[in-house]
Structure 1
C-alpha cells in the first residue's frame, strides 16, 4: 500500500507558492494585451475584476470542503460523494486534461517569447520542445519536500518580477508615454470582432478566465499536505514523527487568499496597462479567429517597455515572461500528475481484472520517494507533441510569407482569417481554451457539491451530532466545536458561484458567435462541454450507474459518507504506528473508476 500513497510533506508556504506558480502565468502577461485590444481600457479592468470576484466566490465553497477533507483527488471526490459518482470521475478527467494540455501549451507559448531575441526553428525544436520538457520532468521527479522548496524559490523570483513590472508600469504611466487616448474612449472595441462594446466585454471575460486557472490548486495537491504541528516520539532508529492537528489548516490560507491576491494583481496590472499602451497598437495580439495574418505581436507589457524607450527594459520584461511561462508549465505538470494519481491510486488490479484496470493500477504507483512518477510521465507525454506543431507552422510561414494587417480602431478593418498557418494555430488555441472552459465546469460542479453538502448536514445536523460524527457542527457555536472553517456568505455564495459559472459557460463564452459563426470560438467554448456531457453519459452506461444523484436523504448514508471521508483524509500519514493505519482505516477504498459502495448511491 505504501506504493499507492504519497508523502504528506508540503507545508503551508509550499502550497501557497505552488498555487502562485500555477495561477500567475501567461494569462495576465499575454492575454491581458488581447483583452485591451478587443475591449479597450474599461474592459481590461472589468474583465479581470469580475472574473476575480467569481474566482473568490468559487473558492469559498472549495476552501470549506477542503479544510474538512484534504483528500487525494479532492475536486473529483467532493462531486462524487455529494452529487454523482460518474460526474465526479468526469470532473477529475476534465481537470487532468486542463493541466496536462496547459503544460504543453505553455511550452509553445515560451517559444513566442523567445522569438523576441531568437527566431530559430532548430533552437525551438531541440531546446524548447525537447530539452526543456525533459528538465521539467526531472524537476518533478524530486521528492515532494525538495520540490516544494524549489517552487518556493521560483515563486519568490516570479513575485519579485511582478513587483518590478508593476513599479515600472507606474513609472511609464507617470511619464506619460502616450496621450491617454484609451481613457478618452474607454469603451473602444475591436469592431471586426464584435458589433458593440457589451459583446466585446463578454468576449474579454471569456479570455480573462484563462488567467484564473490555478486558484483551485490547493485542492489538487492536498494529498501531499501535512498537518501544521508535529511531535517526535521514540529515539534512534525507532523515532517517529507523529502529526497532530488538521491537514486542512495547512491548505486554508492558500485556499482563502489566492483568489484575492490574483484579483488584486491582475486588476492593478490591467489598469496600468490601459495607461501605458494604446488599445489600437497593431502589435497587440488579436483573437486569432478574427485575424491570423497579423504583423509580429508581443506581450502588452513588453510593448509598454518598448514604448518607454528605456534601454534594456523590454528585454528584461520578456525574460520575466519566459520565467513565468516555464515555472507555470512546471507547476501544471505537478498538478496534472497529482490529479491523475488521485483518480487511479487505489485501483488494485490483478489477474481477474480487466486489462485496462491493470494498466491503471500500474500507473497508480509511486517510486521510492513516494512520487507518482508514472502518472507524471503520462501527464507530460499526453500532449508533448503539441509544441512540435509550431515547427510545421514556422515552415509554412517561411515558405509562403506572412501578410500584415493594419488596424487603427476607428473603422471596421478587413477581417482576414485562414491562410497556411490557420489550421495549426487554431488547433493549438482550441486545446488551450478548452482547458480554461474545463476549469469553469469544475468550478460549477464544486459549487453544486457544496450546495448539496450544506443542505445535507443542515437537514441531518441533529442525527449527526447525536452519533458524535466529527467535524459536522457547522451550525453549532459551542466552544468545543471542531468544525475547521466556515466560509463567507453560504449558501448564497455557492448558489451565486454555480449560476455565474453556468452563465459564463453557456452565454458569455458564446459571445464570439454573436457576430457570425466561427469554427474556432465555437469549438473553444463548447467542444469540451459536449465531450464532458457525453463522457458522463457513457460512464453511466459503462458502470451501470443510476440516473439519479447521490441520495442524501438517509442519515445513515450521510454518516457513512462523512466518516469515510474523514478516514480518507488520513491517507498518507507517515506515523503508521497510530490507529490510522491499514487499508480499512487510512486508505478508504475510493477508486474513481470502480463502482462505488451501494450506500453512496
Structure 2
C-alpha cells in the first residue's frame, strides 16, 4: 500500500489530514479518474518508453476523506424533494400579482406573450445550467461555475448577488403577505396584526421550519408543493368557470381580445414599449427556476435506470461513483421546472385576460405612473375592497360567488408563505456554499475568519448560522410598512418595491453569467477533447451518452440565444420604463443593482490584486487540473 498523497490545492483547513491509523474509508486507485491521487499531467505526457510503469496494475490506497461534520450537510433530498422545493420557490406570488399588472400595462396579448417568451428564455438558461449541474452538483455551484470558467472575482460577485436576491426576496414576500392580509383588515391594515403576527411571528416560524432536519424539511416541501399545485389547478378551474358563467349572463370574456394590443398610455408611448416593460415584469415571476442548483448540495444519490436486467442494474449501481449518481437526482428538476412554470404562467395569463378587462380599476398599476386618466369604475362592483391588487381576487369578487374571493386570497396567503420559506432556504444554502470552503484558521484575514463562521452547520447538519443571517439581513424591511402602510404608491411602498425588483435583476445577472460560463465550458471541452480522452477524465465527453450525464439541446447556438436574451432584458427591456420620460423609481429598480454588481466586481479585483482577464482555458495542463479539481470538489461534497 502506498503512502497517502497530498490533497488537492483547493482543500481548506476542515479537510482533515489523513493518518495511517485512519484508513478504513474510501479506496481510490492512484491513477483512476476523479481521484485526487492522480499523477500530474506533465508526467503523463512523457514518451511511451518513459511510461512503462503505467502498464502495471494501479496501486490502491485506502484513504479517509474526513471533512469536519460542522462543515457538511446531509445528502438526503431525493428527486421529488428537489422538484417540490423548486416548485415552491418558482410558483410564487408573481403568478397572481404580476399577471394583472402585465394585463393593465399592455393588454391581453401581452399577458400571454410576456410569460411565454420569458419562460422560453428561462428554459434556455436552464438547459445550460443543467448540463454543468449534472456533472458537478456541488455547494455554491452557480458561483463555482463562473469562477472556474469565466473569472474568479466575477464568480464571487455572482454568489453574493444570488444570495442577495433570495435574502431580500424573503423580506419582500413578508411585506407582500401583509398586503394580502389587508384584504380582510382594510387598506390601512391592522398594525397589531401586521407588526406582531406578519412581520415578527411568521418569520420566526419560517426560521424554525427551516431549522428542521433536512429530511423533515424536504417532506414538508413535498406536502406544500403538492398543495400549491392543487391550488394552481383549482384557480385555473375557477377562472374557466367564471368565464363560462359570464357568457351565460350575456357577455363573453373573449370580447376583451377584440383589441389585444391596447396599452396604458400614461406609462408608454406605444404598445411595443409597453410590451418590453412587460418582459421586465414577467422576469420576477420566473425567479426560482434555478433553485435546484442551490439545493443540489443536499441531494442524495439516485441511480439512472436503463432497460437492463436487475443484475445489470445492481452492477451499474456498484460501479457508478456515488457522486455521479447525485447528478441523476437533480436532472429531472433542472430540466422540467422551467417548462412547468412557462405553461402555468402562460395559461394563467390567458385565462385572466378572458375574465377581466385590461382597464379594470383594481388591476395593479405601475406605482410611479399616474394612470387615473384611463380608469373607468362605473361598471365595477362596489364590493371589491379598494386595496385589492390581484386580478384573480378581483375576478372572484366580480363573479358574485359567495366567499370565493376569501378562498382565493387564502390561496395567495399560502402561496406567499411557502415561497418565503423556500426563499429563506435558498439564501441560507447559497451563503453556506460560498463560505463552507473558506479557510478560517489562524493566520487568515479577519474577514475570511468571519465569513467562514457562516460555513458551519449545527448538529443536524443544517446551516443555521447562514439561515439566521439571511433572514435578519432584510427582515427589517417589512416593518417600514407600519409607518407608511402597505400601498405601493407611498414612498415606503416604492422603496420595498425597488428592493423586490432589484432581486429579479440580480437573478437575471446570475442567469447571464451562468450562460457565459457554459459557453466557455462548452468550447473548452471541445477544444481539448483529445487531451481529455487521453487522460480519461470522466463525464466530459458530450459524444458519450453513457458517460455524459445530460446533453442539452442545440448547443452552443441555444446558449448564445440565451445570453443575448438575458442582456436584452437587462439593458433594453428594463430601459423601456424610461422612454416616456425619466423617473427615479424605474431607474433605481432597473439599474441600481447592475451598478452595485459591477462596483462589487471591481472592488474584489482591486482587493485581491487580480488581473483583468478571463480564466485561461487555452492551456491543456491547466484545463485538466481545473476539471480534476471540480471532480475533487464533487467527490468531497458527496
> TM-score, normalised to structure 2's length?
0.82
Q: Could you tell me whether the CA contact under 8 Å between 1:229 and 1:243 is conserved in 2?
A: no
**Aligned Cα root-mean-square deviation (Å):** 1.7
User: Aligned residue for 2:493?
Assistant: 425
Q: Once the 2 structures are TM-superposed, how far is the Cα of residue 19 of structure 1 from its aligned partner? A: 0.1
Q: Could you tell me whether the CA contact under 8 Å between 1:8 and 1:223 is conserved in 2?
A: yes
**Residue 298 of structure 2, aligned match among 200, 206, 224:** 224
User: Aligned residue for 2:366?
Assistant: 287
User: Aligned residue for 1:135?
Assistant: 205
User: Aligned residue for 1:401?
Assistant: none
Q: Does 1:389 align with 2:389?
A: no
> Residues 433 and 159 from structure 1, CA distance in 2 versus in 1: closer, same or farther, beyond 3 angstroms?
same
* Deviation by residue 1:136-188 (Cα, 9 ceiling, x = unmatched): 00000011111000100001111111010001111111222655442111111
Work out the number of aligned pairs and report it.
536
Q: Does 1:311 align with 2:402?
A: yes
Q: Does 1:124 align with 2:194?
A: yes
Question: Match of 2:421, SS?
Answer: helix
* Deviation by residue 1:379-416 (Cα, 9 ceiling, x = unmatched): 00000000001111139x9xxxxxxxxxxxxxxxxxxx
**Residue 453 of structure 1, aligned match among 508, 521, 532:** 521
Q: Does 1:63 align with 2:130?
A: yes
**Residue 598 of structure 2, aligned match among 524, 533, 537:** 533
User: Aligned residue for 2:233?
Assistant: 163
User: 1:560, 1:288 → 2: CA distance?
Assistant: 52
Matches within 5 A, 1:241-260: 243=322, 246-260=325-339
User: Aligned residue for 2:218?
Assistant: 148
Q: Once the 2 structures are TM-superposed, how far is the Cα of residue 572 of structure 1 from its aligned partner? A: 3.8
> Deviating runs (4+, > 4 A) in structure 1?
242-245, 292-295
User: Aligned residue for 2:581?
Assistant: 516
Q: Once the 2 structures are TM-superposed, how far is the Cα of residue 274 of structure 1 from its aligned partner? A: 0.3
User: Aligned residue for 1:234?
Assistant: none
> Residues 131 and 291 from structure 1, CA distance in 2 versus in 1: closer, same or farther, beyond 3 angstroms?
farther
Q: Does 1:75 align with 2:142?
A: yes
**Residue 275 of structure 1, aligned match among 324, 342, 354:** 354
Question: Match of 2:413, SS?
Answer: helix
* Deviation by residue 1:35-66 (Cα, 9 ceiling, x = unmatched): 11111100110010000000000000000000
Matches within 5 A, 1:187-198: 187-198=261-272
User: 2:330, 2:443 → 1: CA distance?
Assistant: 39
Q: Does 1:6 align with 2:73?
A: yes
> Residues 16 and 91 from structure 1, CA distance in 2 versus in 1: closer, same or farther, beyond 3 angstroms?
same
Question: Match of 1:145, SS?
Answer: helix
User: 2:323, 2:163 → 1: CA distance?
Assistant: 31
User: Aligned residue for 1:335?
Assistant: 426
Q: Which has the larger radius of gyration?
A: 2
User: Aligned residue for 1:205?
Assistant: 279
Q: Does 1:558 align with 2:632?
A: no
Question: Match of 1:569, SS?
Answer: helix
Q: Once the 2 structures are TM-superposed, how far is the Cα of residue 2 of structure 1 from its aligned partner? A: 1.6
Q: Once the 2 structures are TM-superposed, how far is the Cα of residue 475 of structure 1 from its aligned partner? A: 2.8
Q: Could you tell me whether the CA contact under 8 Å between 2:139 and 2:637 is conserved in 1?
A: no
* Deviation by residue 1:488-510 (Cα, 9 ceiling, x = unmatched): 11111111000110011000111
User: 1:182, 1:339 → 2: CA distance?
Assistant: 44
Q: Once the 2 structures are TM-superposed, how far is the Cα of residue 571 of structure 1 from its aligned partner? A: 3.1
User: 1:244, 1:324 → 2: CA distance?
Assistant: 34
User: Aligned residue for 2:413?
Assistant: 322
- Flag structure 1 segments of 5+ consecutive residues without an equivalent: 231-241, 398-417, 574-601
**Residue 47 of structure 1, aligned match among 98, 101, 114:** 114
**Residue 243 of structure 2, aligned match among 136, 157, 173:** 173
User: 2:209, 2:252 → 1: CA distance?
Assistant: 46
Matches within 5 A, 1:579-594: none
Q: Could you tell me whether the CA contact under 8 Å between 1:7 and 1:572 is conserved in 2?
A: no
* Deviation by residue 1:215-253 (Cα, 9 ceiling, x = unmatched): 0011111111111149xxxxxxxxxxx947521100000
